[in-house]
Amino acid sequence: MVSKASEDGRSGPSRRSVLAGASAFAGFAVVAPKRAAASGSDRVEALLAQMTLEEKAGQLSCFADMIRPPIADMNPLVNLRNAQTLLAEIHAGRIGVLMNGVGTAGALEAQKAAVEGSRLKIPLLFAADIVHGFRTVFPIPLAESGSFDPRLAERTAHGAASEASASGLHWTFAPMVDVARDQRWGRVAEGAGEDVYLGEVMAAARVRGFQGKDLKAEDSMLATPKHFAAYGAVTAGLDYNSVEISEATLREVHLPPFQAAFAAGALTTMSAFNDINGVPATANKRLLTDILRGEWGFKGVVISDYTADQELVAHGYAHDDRDAARLAILAGVDISMQSGLYLRYLPELTAAGAVPMAVVDASVRRVLALKEAIGLFDNPYRSINAKVEAMRTATPTLRQLSREAGGRSIVLLRNEGAILPLPTAGKRLALIGPFAEDRDNVLGAWGGFFADRSLNVDLASGVRSALADPGALIVERGCEVETTLAGGFERAVAAAQAADIVLLAIGESQDMTGEAKSRTDIRIPAVQQRLAEAIAATGKPVVVLLRHGRAIALEGVVRDARAILATWFLGSEMGNAVADVLFGTVNPSARLPVSFPQESGQEPFFYNGRTTGRPAPLDPNSQEYKSRWRSIRNEALYPFGFGLGYASFALSDLKLSDARLGWNDTLRITAKLTNTGQTHGEHVVQLYIHDRVASRTRPVRELKGFQRVSLAPGASHDVRFELRRENLMFIGGDDRWLAEPGMFDVWVANSSIDGLVGQFELLAG
């Protein structure tokens, strides 16, 4: 654990507290696995006693909100109901949740149908995919995770919740907490990257941000850590693909961020599309009941992903839709999203005895308790106020937060000759590339779902606003994202020749990342690479402004540019945020949450792979029969945790409080950080360990803590970390958490491949 982070609430929970069943929310306190499920409140039990089978199935059904229709470009909208049909079914008590509709007027109409028109007057839950912003969009979660600042993530999640709840929403299907180690997978953009600890910390922060301190508050939204579980391990990085995974990897890598999210108070989760070792997650009783509810004592609500229950048929796991509904409810899925299978089949399945009434009642009880927890029974029209909607939408405060988050998410990868920051006067700049004036590709995956695109700031606008003379900027597109543009190269080369410095805005479009956007080749599109070569041939210094939703395999003149900024998709204020870093208003301090490979063929690639019997030799010329590729060493181009700034920092004076760590004791690690540059800056100091000898091979390094430190030029600060036995635990041969006595290496580092190293021994208990 990080001592400073734990003091200010920015670190994730300790594994000890998670394994002990740390309490989440009072209404959903984690209980011991063998304790019988508690009854609901008197109100919930009274409602349950009156409900028909159809009304119960309705509470367990979520449909697209066609009263205020959702955007229909993200998933196939099956089982559609027009607005009048939908209202009739709400009147009949056959719907419990509506999703992806926004606006207070439609919400008011739908809620009136439920609480004034239905027999039992049970209010609706309004849900939506509010992933990293609503009308005002913040950086994609992957980018923001690079800030290594959970407090920032908490603030942007709260900003998104405040804005979205003002538009009549109670529940967001976020955060995504899947650990993603294959950059070919498009949904890498939605999570915190490749590391477990960073994933835990960011998951907890985002849950706190969305939900706030009071679930009944008008600006609180229920958070949904997803996708349960191991979706980030899909084979070959192919979306919706199968997952083959060991029990140890499942429990060490993919489950801890969910535990952190639940410990932070999350009351819902979403089942994954993928199967795990042949059993689809949506029908996986071992995952959804034995582990989630039995081992962890989770008492909240599980919702399927979009039609994931119906897809059990395509998996070849269910005979038909009726069988799929049976398998999903018995596995532990409380709410069926969009397929309509529960509404169609649960009444007859229950009447026939194929699904016990007790199972249905348990799910309905959880859904009603969720509605009660956020105050819907007492205030069914909460978060439905047109005046509040106008007041809390696209405010200057939210836009400023988007700009701040953008600047803090940019990673400076290269800065040869200290070409950055640029002066705001005295240089003629050429901004070249398909993203130079582009306003359609600044938001990233899920960002454009509800966004007010009129807020989007393109690069050219941001750069011009920072220049003393806006006329000192020449702009040329050069090419499209994946195709040529008539005369584009010629005009771009002419612009470069007329400039002192070239800003090259290249990378991926918004449509190349996110769900269903897996890529076999994660290089920059070929036409953009050719444009870069043409620009480099002019001999003018080039600053690459890389746009991307994953780590990119850089090559050639792009890889060798004078400066490279990883700018991701930063949201509404992207152009201003990039300009802030380019001209030094913001000193870049973000670090990579994913490793940049040298080539696409290295994927899946991550810094904390396990040791092998034939590790690559230190001598790069020695390669026979060792763990390396024929053409390259299996190393990152830019490793996890790496990032530069306009200040320089040095670590020194590593000290351990003892060479031995007692079984129940605490080891204190300190090091001195000094700003050796001429500029005030922030540095992310990272703590890693390695278990030298264990009953199962261990990662070469594991992140166990980090701190952000802000220092003036010449100033120093003693960075302090703590380690205890539970921080050294892993999944042993019996698939249970354990710690083993022995020797450990510990690093206080700037990234996952460097640092000051010490050793200590964990003593037996």
The Cα–Cα gap between 528 and 438 comes to: 15
Burial class (CB in 10 A: 0-12, 13-18, 19+), 680: middle
Q: Which two tokens stand for residue 494?
A: 């002419």
User: What pLDDT digit, counting tens, does each position of 176-211 carry?
Assistant: 999 999 999 999 999 999 999 999 999 999 999 999
What are the residue ranges of CATH 3.20.20.300 in the chain? 3-38+135-389
Exposed / middle / buried, residue 7 (Cβ in 10 Å: 0-12, 13-18, 19+): exposed
Write the CB contacts of 522 (distance below 8 Å, at least 6 apart in sequence): 183, 184, 550, 551, 552, 553, 597, 600, 603
d(CA 288, CA 304): 11
- Nearest-CA neighbor of 382 among 630, 138, 104, 676? 104
Q: What is the DSSP letter of 233?
A: G
pLDDT at position 7, please?
32
CATH number of 647-762: 2.60.40.10
Secondary structure of residue 511 in the 3-state scheme: helix
Strands 636-638 and 666-675: unpaired
pLDDT (average), residues 338-358: 97
Give the list of residues 6+ apart from residue 256 with CB closer than 8 angstroms, or none.
15, 18, 196, 199, 200
Please state, in angstroms and rounded to a whole number, the distance separating the CA atoms of residues 368 and 592. Answer: 42
Q: What is the mean pLDDT of residues 370-398?
A: 96
pLDDT over threshold 60, residue 10: no
End-to-end CA distance of the chain: 21
Task: Answer yes or no: are the C-beta atoms of 540 and 502 closer than 8 Å.
Answer: yes
Computed over every residue of the chain, the mean pLDDT equals 93
What is the predicted pLDDT for the residue at 24? 31
Catalytic residues: 305
Q: For tokens 């084979």, name the residue.
A: 235
pLDDT per residue as tens digits for the range 105-122: 999 999 999 999 999 999
Class of domain 395-602: alpha beta
Task: Judge whether residue 362 has pLDDT over 80.
Answer: yes
Average pLDDT over residues 459-467: 98
Q: Is 443 left (phi over 0), alpha (psi -120 to 50) or beta?
A: alpha
Which residues contact residue 330 at a Cβ distance below 8 angstroms, ignoring those fewer than 6 apart?
A: 285, 355, 359
Give CATH 3.40.50.1700 domain extents, the chain: 395-602
Residues of CATH 2.60.40.10 domain(s) within the chain?
647-762
Quote the CA–CA distance of 503 and 476 in Å, as a whole number: 10
Dihedral of the alpha carbons of 171, 174, 177, 180, in degrees to the nearest 10: 150
Order of all β-strands in the sheet with 649-656: 649-656, 666-675, 716-724
pLDDT-derived band at 17 (thresholds 50, 70, 90) equals: very low
Q: Quick one: pLDDT band at residue 75, thresholds 50, 70, 90? A: low
Pick the CATH number of 3-38+135-389 from 3.40.47.10, 3.40.50.2300, 3.30.930.10, 3.20.20.300: 3.20.20.300
Q: For the beta carbon of residue 502, count every other beta carbon within 10 angstroms.
A: 27
Tell me, rounded to whole angstroms, the distance of Cα 421 from its chain centroid.
29
